[in-house]
Every structure is written in structure tokens, then in C-alpha cells.
Chain A
Amino acid sequence: MKYEVVIGLEIHLELQTSSKLFCGCSTIFGREPNSNCCPICLGLPGSLPVFNRRAIELAVAAALALNSDVQEKSRFDRKNYFYPDLPKAYQISQYDQPLARGGYLQIEVDCASRIINLERVHLEEEAGKLIHSSESIMGSDYSLVDYNRAGIPLLEIVTAPDITSGREARLFLDDLRSVLLYSGASDCKMEEGSLRCDANISLRPAGSDELGTRAEVKNMNSFRAVELALNYEAGRQEEILAAGGTVIQETCHWDEERKKTIPLRSKEGSSDYRYFPEPDLLPLVLESTFIEEISAALPELPPARRKRLKEQYGLDASEAALFTFNRSLGDFFEAAAARYNQYANLAKWVQGDLLYYLRESGKNVEEVEPQKFVDLLTLLDKGDINRPVAKELLSEIVLSGTSPQKMIRDKGLGRISGDEQLLPIVEKVIAENPDAIENYRQGKEKAMAFLVGRVMALTGGRADPGEANKLLKEKISRK
């Protein structure tokens, strides 16, 4: 029997505020343990939460960017469970009245457009962090708790079970991340834990409408891990079903080293979070003007930009994707394109050499002036410099920001040509390489390539190879 894979994702995202969701403690990453803590985020007896306006704004911005329907009234609830990283033994979250309902993200899978629907977007608080005494949780006889993260605003995004493969999950996450970065809601740094993803995955006979028994997969620490874990888990479930077995509902961890999903031991009885309305916080009521202002302030979002980049500049799918995902590179491209209309050439240089030198130098594209870059391409187009020189100059533009014209003047980097400049060098090459001249005369064309190469070497690449070739032939035949 053929099976189809059904995947739903649950994404947690730390919102980019200065202070925590319910208190004034800083959200800065990497501070000394337990130094960003106060009575509120430590859950000290008697402390009370107060909403951070910015967190609400960012959550609304993210929800709007995901086409989710922001609710005029939403409510906060307590999710009760005991865990040492949870200071109050409940998480302030949203249960049956979330911040936003529904929504979707349009993604591209193999050049085809797919809609992944969302169920909800809601706001909640982050927990603290546990550090285990040994590598694995099971092997640790004690753990250490750091509450610096406790209380940082988290956005939870829950998708519908619309995703059909590990690869699709990864593509969705790429696009989701991009949309969230554009919305300004989060820095989406998976390595710092500011974006995390859990998945529900089940299999069903192809064409069936019913959902199979699902497994929950956690501990996937990169988008690549999500793809691998879900593919692995889909394969595991298919084997079970194909052998006539049944999948049991369980939670498993992705083991990055062994590249497999490991079921977690689960005690009898399922969780019972005893949700109830948070009495310390009144319902969140958002005026329509508040939502409209945030909506108006949203930038052009990735799906729209990608489409426009193709139409406006004739870019291909991968170029449009690159300039969308890498927002600042895309911004640079568009700034340069406003001054230079050879878009294909521009795109080639931006994604090729520019990106290379940026990586080499560790600089940000924001530090490069589009005008200087465009000047460089124009000099090259006019033949004032050649490609090797252009690359050298580009490297320098990235490093120091010096204008290409100035460098050409100062370093004498212009082209070497004509009888006055190039001829003496040609003559020197002929004088130094009698064997090659002899070979050429005997009809070995390769010898000419060697001689041109010598000219190029002596001019530091600043000669035009065609001109060198022409002069060499003239000189040799005259002799």
C-alpha cells in the first residue's frame, strides 16, 4: 500500500523585545546565569505580571505577516505543570482564546506553489534553562537552573497538518523564518534557541482523509535536522505499517548523532495542564486602529518580494529566492539596480563575487555603497579595467570602501595598452622566450597562449589578452 505523510509543525519563537514579557528584565542573550532576573520572572511569592506593549505589537506584526486573523479580544491562561525551569509552576499562555486564528503561508516546492495553513498564533512566556550535570538527561544526577530566559516573550505558531514531507517542512521553515525576519518580530536564531520547532507526524493510506496515529518529534536543532528527523520518522512508521503493525502515539527525541528518533519513556497517564484564565491579567483587547497601524508599518513581505523581483528585474527563481531570503543582499541589489540596468550582470556579480568578498572579509552588505559597486561594473563594461582588476577592486571596496576611480588613479591600475606601454613588455617576452617563439613558428598554437600568458603575468593582468596576442604575432612575424 502507498502511504502519504501528514505533518503539522509547532514553532516557538522568541520575540525581539528589550525587556521580558511581564517584567523589566533584559532579554539580552548570553549574560551571566540568573543575572537577568527579578521577583516577577523568578515567580517570587506576591509578584504579578504586566504586559509588555512591544511584545504584543511584535506578535501582532508576525500574525499579520502570516495572514492570521488577529482577534480583537484574546485571553491569557495558566498552563499548570511542574518543572524546575518553570518558576511559577505554570506558564502564562493562551488556550481557547488565542491572539490570532488561522492564517497561511504560500511556499514554493519544486517551482510549484503550495499553501500551508496555520491553525493559530498565540503569545506565551519562555521558561528558564536547565544545564545537566552530564551529557544526557538520563545520565545526570543533578541539573542546574538558569532563569535568564524565563519570561522572554514567545510566539507559538501551530500549522494545520498540511505538510507532506520532511523537505516540505524544511522549505516551509525557510519561508516562515524569512517572513518573520521581515516582520521584525524575531531574530529567528535557532542556535540561540530563539526559534524552535516540534512536529507531529503520522501516515495514512494515500488518498485517505483520516489521520493516522501521530508521533511527536522534538529536539530538532536545525532546519536540516527537521528534514532528516521527519524523513526518518516517516520511514520508521511506514515500516511498521507495511509489516501490519500499529504506530503508537508517543513523543520522541531526534538524536542528532545517531540520526534517528528515540521514543521518550512516558509515565502512566497523559498530561493534565489544568488550564484556567490567568486571574492576574485582564483580557487583551486590541483596538482596530492598533492593529491597522501595525499592518501599515509592515514591509513588503517575502512572497510578494520574490514575485516582484522576478517580474521587475527578470531574475530567475533562485536569484529571486536568494535576494528575498537574504534581505539585505536583496536591498543592495535593488539599490544598485536603480543606478544600473544590466540586471542579469548585476545579479551575477552580487550573488557571486560580492557575496564571496563579504564572506571573506566578514563585512555586512550594508557597509558597501551601491554607487561604488555600480561604478566598478560600469568601468568594467567600458573596458577601462579587466575582470581580474575588477575583482581586486571589489575586494578593496568591500574592505575599505575606497572608490574604484580613486584606486585606479592611485595605484595605476588602468589598462596597459598601445605601443608606448604594452610594446616594450611584448618585446621583453619575445626576447626572454626564444624556444616558445621557435615552437610558434613551427605551427604550435599553444606556444602563443604561453606567450600571451607571460605578457599578462608581467602586466599584472592589466593588459588586454587580445591586444597582447595581436602585438606578439606582429612582432614575431616581422622577425
Chain B
Amino acid sequence: MKIYEQTAANLSKLLQNKEVSSVEVVQSFLDRIELIEPYLKSFITHTPAMALDMASTVDNRRAGGEKLHPLAGVPIAIKDNISTRGLRTTCASRILENYIPPYDATVVETLKQVGMPLLGKTNMDEFAMGSSTENSAFYPSRNPWNLERVPGGSSGGSAVAVSSGMAPLALGSDTGGSIRQPASLCGLTGLRPTYGRVSRYGLIAFASSLDQIGTISLTALDSAMLMNVISGYDLLDSTTLSEPVPDYTIFLDEGIKKLKVGVIKENVSEDFDPEVTAAVMKNIALLKESGAEVDEVSLPLTDYGLGAYYLIAPSEASSNLGRYDGVRYGFNAGGESIDDMFSATRGRGFGPEVKRRIMIGTYALSAGYFDAYYLQAMKVRTMIRREYEAAFKRFDILVGATTPTPAFKIDEKIDDPLQMYLSDICNITDSLAGVPSLSIPSGISSGGLPMGMQLTASPLKEGLLLKVAGFLERERGHLPLRPKVKLPEGGEV
């Protein structure tokens, strides 16, 4: 039994039965990191000492007979846009390369309380802007299924770490698909919770009305266990929801008879890779065989989602990223006058995609354009929400592909922003509507790459999504999907 190949749920059992110690668990992942991280580049900052330290604390507490949380001692990797006290948090940007937050994000504080050792901070697209992790100011991450391919993004590092056995669980953030799309490209389960379900306090903002922290895991059960930890109302985030948090693991064993499933026509499009659509349909067939009521549904506004998203998100981003001005923290390019310093700091500190989005957003909000762009986009957002509300009157869940294709090649889309944006086409409208959305593996392509399927429910119905995911896992009986990492110098690990 290799420890690093275990799911979080299995590790939890092993730890609770005292079959392994948390230090052993952490050490196993650290060894794995040492072996393959040089090829995958999924981390920006490694924290082995901190992880071992936290692990031994948990072991001591357990030895002392203390009643611990099920995930106590199970390590985790955290996307590098989530603030960690005393630990560099870069957002994969030059502008924050040396920034050390003096505070923990609410989710980090919770993980520490639970006793989940932190393995490191994971790579991402700079400020979570991107779909391939190529926009990291430091280095791109590589897809463990094929090192020539991107892992998706922006939570690419988190997906790579979990997929390759360098971490059993990871936190990501999803603004317009940044958890679901990399989860899909790496064969993982990625949950974007309902907006407001998980505190954003300490999550470095990209687009505040869209950003949500969520889980990247091997299985639905692992996701449910982690959701139990991170969900809930936070006094420090006014936009969190106060509804009680259910135990998400209880949904996993429920049946799906009479479940009303709507297949989103636009997300099983003829324009997509046929293998992707076929895989989705195969899973839908499984649901149908088991008593789900399946019908097709059209969400015509999906076509306009991209436009609305690429106005709203950059607009909010242009404002959120104003604070990187070289005064209080971060990179400072110097300058004779304050304006020189502001412009040089930002001009040199931000990468091209970030600058592009700041430009779009600044333009969309500027005098004379506000109504035509930003305001219109917010109205379209209302229409999209209504379209979802109408759909959820007919269906319990909506399904489709997570991404139009399996993982694309590194450098394939980097010079064509619009093509890159289109890889999130299935993810964006869920974000705009604020509804929970889950990507699960749907199958493996003939080229040996994982493909994903996206399940969407109405607000706060994460449990329903996890139930369907759990059901499909059982039916297919072949999860979790694990790649063999083919090393460039030969050999597989």
C-alpha cells in the first residue's frame, strides 16, 4: 500500500485506526513531491517543515486520546492566492513575489484548527486569470497525464498535486471555471460551491462577485469531507450565507431514482470534441438506467455568458488590482514621481494576461462606456439567473461537458486570449448565476487524457451534486483515476 495513492477518506480511516501516523502520511507525500515535482511544477512554495510539524502535533493530540476531526492529520495543498500567515503568498505574480501576509484566510485558519498539515502553496495562473497555468509568472505546471499538456487553470497547481499523488486534497478557487476546468483536464473531482457558501476572507480577489474557494479531490467523498471543514458563515465575509452546513458525506450513499436530469444542449455541443460529448452521454445513460428522468434543456443565454463574464470579471479585477501600487507591499519599480512609480510598478509587476484584463475592465467601467458594457453585462447576468431558475423548476440537476476538449498542449493557446477564454465556455454561466457546480471525471480519451462532466444544481444543493457524483463513482467502479507520470528521461512513476 502506497500512502500517497490513498484518498483522503482512506487516509482518514487509517489515521483514526492508528494504522499510520500523520507524520508518516506527510512524509509519504513529501517523498512523492521530491520525486516528481521537478517535472510537474505544481507548487510555488513548499512547506515540508511546517507540514511535519503540524503532523506531529496532530499525532501527539491523537496519542493523548483527544477526539479529532476526521481530516485531522490528512495533509492538503493550498492555491497560492489564499493568504497564509507568515508564509509567502504570491498569486503567481511578480508583483507579490515576496509578499508575506500577516494573517490567515478564514479557510486556512479552519484547516489549522482541524489539524490538516499544509504541504505547500500551489501554482496558478497569475491572479487566477487563465485556463492553463501558463500565466504563472514563475513557470507553467504540467499535466501529469501528459507532460506536454497543460493541467488547465487557474487552479492548475492544485489539480496537478492531487492528480499526481503529491497531495490528497487541495483548495482551489473558481471565478469562471478555475476549479472545474483543471479538475476536468486532470481527471479529478472539482467543486465550485454556491457563491457565499465558503468564506472569501483571505482569498486574494480576482472578481469579487464571482470568486469562490472550492475543493479539488480524487473522489466525491473526499470533496464532501473537505466541504464539511471549509463551508459556513464567516463574520469577516459579509457575502457568506448563514444557512446551516449539512454533513455533506451523508448524501453520498443516496440513490438517484426519479432524479430529474437536464442535459444542457449547449454544453454537449457538436462543436466539442466528440469523445468528450460521448463520455458525458455514457454517464447520463448510466443515470437513466438507474431511474433518473433525463431530458434535454436549452440554455440559450449560455452564448452570451462569455461576453458578460469577460466584462464583469475584468471590471471587478481592474478595481481589485488597483492596490498593487508599490506603496504598502509587493514589487516597487521606483520612480521620480508617484505616478511614475505607480505606472512602472504595475507595468512591470503584472504579466500580459493580467494587464489585458485590467485594460478591458478599466475601459468597461470608464465614463461613457459603463452603460453599454458593465451595466448591460450585469443585466445579462440577471437574465442568466432567471434562465437557471426556470431550468431548476424542471430539473434537479443540469449536466454537460466541463470542457470542450481534453487537455490542450502547452503554448497552444497562449497567444490567442479568445481561444483560451473559450476553454471555460461551459463553466462561466454557472459562475454568473452563483450556483454550485461540480466537475467529475467522465472517462479517458483515446489519447489517454481524462475528460470531465459538469453537474450543476440550484443554490446550496452541493449535497445533490455530490450524491450524483458518488453514485457514478460506484456505478463505474474505476475511480479514482490515476495517471502514471511518464518522466522525460524514461520510466513511469
Contacts and interface: CB of A to CB of B under 8 A. Distances in A.
- Direct chain A–B contact by Cβ atoms under 8 Å: yes
Interface of A: 39, 42-51, 78, 80, 82, 84, 87-90, 143, 145, 147, 272, 274-276, 279-282
Interface in B330-379: 338-339, 342, 362, 365-367, 370, 374
Interface stretch (B25-33, B112-120, B279-287, B321-329): B321-329
Given A51-B238, A82-B342, A279-B209, A46 B365 contact: no
A47 B319 contact: no
A45 B327 contact: no
A147 B328 CA distance: 10
Nearest to B378: A277
A121 to B, nearest CB: 22
B323 A45 contact: yes
B105 A87 contact: no
Contact of B325 (A49, A50, A84, A279): A84
Contacts of B370: 274, 276
Contacts of B459: none
A48 B325 contact: no
Contact of A45 (B83, B208, B316, B325): B83
What is the interface of chain B mostly: helix, strand, loop, or mixed? loop
Nearest to A130: B338
Contact of B236 (A50, A274, A282): A50
The 9 tightest CB contacts between A and B, nearest first, are A89-B322, A274-B365, A279-B208, A279-B209, A45-B204, A46-B202, A46-B83, A46-B204, A43-B323
Interface string B193-215: 00000001111110111000000
A147 B327 CA distance: 11
What is the interface of chain A mostly: helix, strand, loop, or mixed? loop
Contacts of B83: 44-46
B329 A47 contact: no
23 contacts: A39-B103, A44-B102, A44-B328, A44-B329, A45-B96, A45-B205, A46-B81, A46-B82, A46-B201, A46-B203, A46-B205, A49-B238, A51-B238, A78-B319, A80-B319, A84-B325, A84-B327, A88-B322, A90-B322, A274-B318, A274-B367, A280-B239, A282-B238
A90 B208 CA distance: 14
B456 interface: no
Interface in B69-95: 81-83, 89, 91
A341 B295 CA distance: 90
A245 B477 CA distance: 87
B233 interface: no
B82 to A, nearest CB: 8
A147 B329 CA distance: 14
Contacts of A50: 235-238
A8 to B, nearest CB: 22
The CB with the most chain A CB atoms within 10 A, among B99, B235, B238, is that of B238
B192 to A, nearest CB: 17
A51 B237 CA distance: 10
Nearest to B102: A39
Contacts of B339: 82
Contact of B365 (A276, A279, A281): A276
A48 B201 contact: yes
A262 to B, nearest CB: 20
B238 A45 contact: no
Nearest to B374: A276
Interface in B14-52: none
A82 B105 CA distance: 26
A72 B153 CA distance: 42
B374 A47 contact: no
Given A46-B83, A84-B325, A87-B328, A282 B239 contact: yes
A336 B105 CA distance: 58
B7 interface: no
Contacts of A147: 328
B378 to A, nearest CB: 8
Nearest to B336: A141
B315 A45 contact: no
Given A51-B238, A145-B327, A45 B91 contact: yes
Given A48-B200, A274-B365, 13 more contacts: A42-B328, A45-B205, A45-B323, A46-B201, A46-B202, A47-B202, A48-B239, A50-B237, A50-B238, A51-B238, A84-B327, A147-B328, A276-B319
A280 B338 CA distance: 28
Contacts of A90: 319, 322
B211 to A, nearest CB: 9
B434 to A, nearest CB: 12
Contacts of A282: 238-239
B361 to A, nearest CB: 9
